[in-house]
A = this chain, B = another copy of it.
Amino acid sequence: MSDVNNIINKAMDEKRKALYDHEAKDMLSLVGLPTTRYRVVKDREVAIEAAHEIGFPVALKIVSPHVLHKSDAGGVVLDIGDEDELIRCYDLIVDRVKEKVPEAEIHGVLVEEMASPSVEVIVGATRDPQFGPTVMFGVGGILTEIIKDVSFRVAPLGLDEATKMMGEIKSHRVLEGARGMPVVDKAVLADIIVKTSKLMLENPGINAIDLNPVIVYEAGAKIVDARIILGDEDDVERDVEPADDLDAVLNPSSVAVIGASSNPDKIGHQILKNIVDAGFSGPVYPVNPRGGEILGLKAYPSVMDAPGDVDSVVVVVPSRFVPGVMEECVRKGVKGAVIISSGFKDVGPEGAELERQVLETAARGGIRVVGPNCQGVSNPVSGFCATWPLISQVGDVAVISQSGSIALEVPSFLVDNHLGYSKSVALGNKSDVDEADLISWLGRDEGTRVIAVYTEGTDEGRKLMKAVRGASADKPVLILKGGKTEAGRKAVLAHTGSLAGSGEVFEAAVSQSGGFCVGSLEELLDAAKAFSMLPVPRGPNLLVVTSSGGAGILSSDASEKAGLNLRTLSRDTVDRLKAVLPDFCILRNPLDLTGNALTEPNMYGEALEVALESGEADMILVVFGDPIPDTVELLGKVVEKAEEKGVPVVVNYLGGADVQKVEVDALQRNGIPVYQTPERAITALGYLNRYRLNRNDLGGN
């Protein structure tokens, strides 16, 4: 590696921002990467010798620290076929450069092998402001530059992951023998990607690498052009571990509400009331300078006056009082603070200074802070519902959200579906506790089965990846990232001052850590519901049983998009279905019971029994496309059997008007998830299936 360092240091000493072509190739060769052959020469005679050594045809390129755009300065000639041409071209490029850039010192001429044509790809690497060293792979030309058909990974990565990058681009068929091109050597490409990522990781002085084109053959590859840009090391922290001391903010043993109010219109009243109404299991101390009694509880002028220990505080006083409050909390031995108050970083530099003070004090006392400028924390299990409005149904979905509204919308949606949640945290300004800390803590929380996150980005990308990777082996982590598009990013900057990283890199980072970036708020809700109610399937095969042909077709369309397999039923299964179902049924997948299911609804049970017995369905979508009553009775037993077999069953109910309303409610009350359209049902099943695949990769249970 010291040779690599020498190259970097030499260029830096010469105050260059980039390596010369030959230096870049020297460096690539040093780390074992395949480049075209080359030699730097100082005169025509040696150039001829070099060309013979390399083998015609060759390219000539000027070497000068003062010529940035070699082609524009006439300093490049490609495809030189013989000695005569070489001599003519050698003089030509030297003369042209002297003419166009008279001040340029010419250090020599690069004689380079012309690689024979084949599939051209690009391998690149940059330092992402949130995630640090990141590699990119794409197919050359228009596809990369205009269609942006590329895939990313945060470094380091292994050969497996590098191979996956190739499969992810839309044009992956270009690598697989399309259009008369060879099936390319993916192993050597994977090796190039991995070594490029190492080069970035191990050399802080390299700012970006651009291998473009890399020509790939049936066996082997050649890096034709390499641009290596120098610069300062990124400041992305690589070794920050997610916090593990969040018990006081998520599950405190006692709590004081600082800024508790007897005025029902004030947040300081509503939060205290919600904690009381939710039946918080420990002592609750209202804190209000006027003392007295609020909601039947004795109020104290200061947190220090509370008669017992205070594990956590919820702070609702105006921002200017918060630094003082925090000092008192340190003295009292408080361990967690949820700061609702706004007026910090969210209002500009003065507020940011106030926030810094509060954080400094809290850190001194070992107090973990959620917020400020947030809509609080809620733990319905212990009744620590320090937020508003009160939603107290216990379930197993944990919510982490930079937005208070979304932190509450997820529980709200779940309750409408007869579910509940385990924890909900609104992050607000995210001054201390962040998504990564919470994902990590919730990953170990037994009451949590799925973690749903809304975030607008992170400054600590590596910590987030560690947290997602840690949690994902046990439970799915679903992330909705706000600020993906240009318009969205502008709104992010206005909202919280946090930096939204490039959407593509964020998504790659989450996915390579085993998590999921969902496409919309609805997908977050629908997928969370599926994970909460259903087992993870054992395979990709979906069976659709429907009374509506139309819904069956929409299901087929959607299942292809969701990566599910509408497996053709075996001959044996078709025969067994034939034995129990009337003739008018269409014995395929989707299995169409036809509108006759309205008068013969028992067909559902018969069909599903056979399907479950067959083992050919890893997942089942049941569509009621008619006003069929008593569906819980129809499905109850089958769903029980499906659960035993680990087969998730979801329902879509359509066209049933009033009957539908009653049935949807009854089904969900009985733990059978219903989605409003076939497409939504299947998108949700798609997430279950992807988690199965991820868990296989992660080697989890």
Q: Which residues in A have some Cβ–Cβ distance to B below 8 Å? A: 139, 141-143, 145-147, 149, 170-171, 173-174, 178-179, 265, 267, 342-343, 346-347, 375, 388-391, 401-409, 411-412, 415, 454, 456, 480, 482-488, 490-492, 494-496, 520-522, 525, 547-561, 566, 583-584, 586, 588, 590, 592, 594-596, 598-599, 623, 625-627, 654-660, 676-680
The minimal Cβ–Cβ distance linking A270 to chain B, given in whole angstroms, is: 9
CB < 8 Å neighbour of A547 from B346, B405, B492, B598: B405
Q: Name A491's contact: one of B488, B495, B496, B552 (CB within 8 Å).
A: B552
Establish whether residues B677 and A522, one from each chain, have CB atoms under 8 Å apart when the complex forms.
Answer: yes
Taking a contact as CB atoms under 8 Å apart, the answer to whether B491 and A551 are in contact is no
CB distance from A94 to the nearest CB of B (A): 25
- Bound together, the chains give a CA A434 to CA B495 distance in angstroms of 51
Question: How many subunits of this chain does the assembly comprise?
Answer: 2
A547 — which chain B residues lie within 8 A by C-beta? Answer: 405
Contact of A658 among B389, B484, B623 (CB under 8 A): B389
Given contacts A142-B179, A404-B595, contact A657 B265 (CB under 8 A): no
Cβ-defined partner of A405 (8 Å) among B139, B170, B559, B626: B626
Contacts of A488 in B (CB 8 A): 553-554, 556-557, 560
CB <8 Å contact, B406 and A655? yes
- Is B482 a contact of A560 with CB atoms below 8 Å? no
**Cα-based distance from A480 to B560 in the complex (angstroms):** 17
* Contact pick for A595, options B375, B406, B594, B627, CB 8 Å: B375
Closest to A484 in B: B557
Nearest CB in chain B: distance from A401 CB, A: 7
Say whether A415 contacts B657, CB under 8 Å: yes
Considering residues A179, A402, A521, which has the most beta carbons from chain B within 10 angstroms of its beta carbon? A521
A178 to B142, CA, bound (A): 9
How many angstroms from the CA of A494 to the CA of B486 in the assembled complex?
Answer: 44
Cβ 8 A contact of A557, one of B485, B557, B677 = B485
Cβ A677 vs Cβ B521 within 8 A: yes
Contact B560 A486 (CB under 8 A): yes
- Among residues of B, the one whose C-beta sits closest to the C-beta of A659 is B389
> Chain B residue with minimal CB distance to A170?
B147
Q: Report whether B679 and A559 are in contact in the complex, using a CB–CB cutoff of 8 Å.
A: no
Report whether A655 and B179 are in contact in the complex, using a CB–CB cutoff of 8 Å: no
A655 contacts B407, C-beta separation under 8 Å: yes
Report the minimal beta-carbon distance from A677 to chain B, rounded to whole angstroms. 4
Residues of B within 8 A of A486 (CB): 560
Q: Is the CB of A654 within 8 A of B522?
A: no
Bound Cα distance A484, B415 (Å): 35
A550 interface neighbour in B454, B548, B596, Cβ under 8 Å: B454
For the complex of A and B, the 5 pairs showing the least CB-CB separation, nearest first, are A403-B550, A405-B625, A408-B655, A405-B548, A488-B557
Residues of B within 8 A of A142 (CB): 139, 142-143, 171, 174, 178-179
**Contact flag A550-B482 (CB < 8 Å), given A146-B178, A592-B495:** yes
Q: Which residue of B lies closest to A408 (CB)?
A: B655
The answer to whether A549 and B403 have CB atoms under 8 Å apart is yes
Known contacts being A550-B456, A680-B522, is A654 close to B146, with CB within 8 Å?
A: no
Neighbouring B residues of A656 by C-beta, 8 Å: 389, 408, 412
Which residue of the partner chain B has the closest CB to A522?
B677
On chain B, the residues within 8 Å of A599 by CB distance are 265, 267
Chain B residue with Cβ nearest A626: B405
Of B491, B559, B654, which one neighbours A409 at CB under 8 angstroms?
Answer: B654
Q: How far is the CB of A50 from chain B (nearest CB, A)?
A: 28
A625 to B388, CA, bound (A): 12
A347, A595, A658 pick with most chain B CB within 10 angstroms? A595
> Known: A405-B547, A405-B654, A679-B522. Is A491-B588 also a contact (CB below 8 A)?
yes
B655 adjacent to A412 (CB under 8 Å): yes
Whether A660 contacts B556 by the Cβ 8 Å rule is no
Contacts of A554 in B (CB 8 A): 480, 482, 488, 520-521
How many Å lie between the Cα of A558 and that of B411 in the bound state?
23
Taking CB as reference atom, which chain B residue is nearest A266? B599
Contact residue among B265, B406, B494, B553 (Cβ-Cβ distance under 8 Å from A592): B494
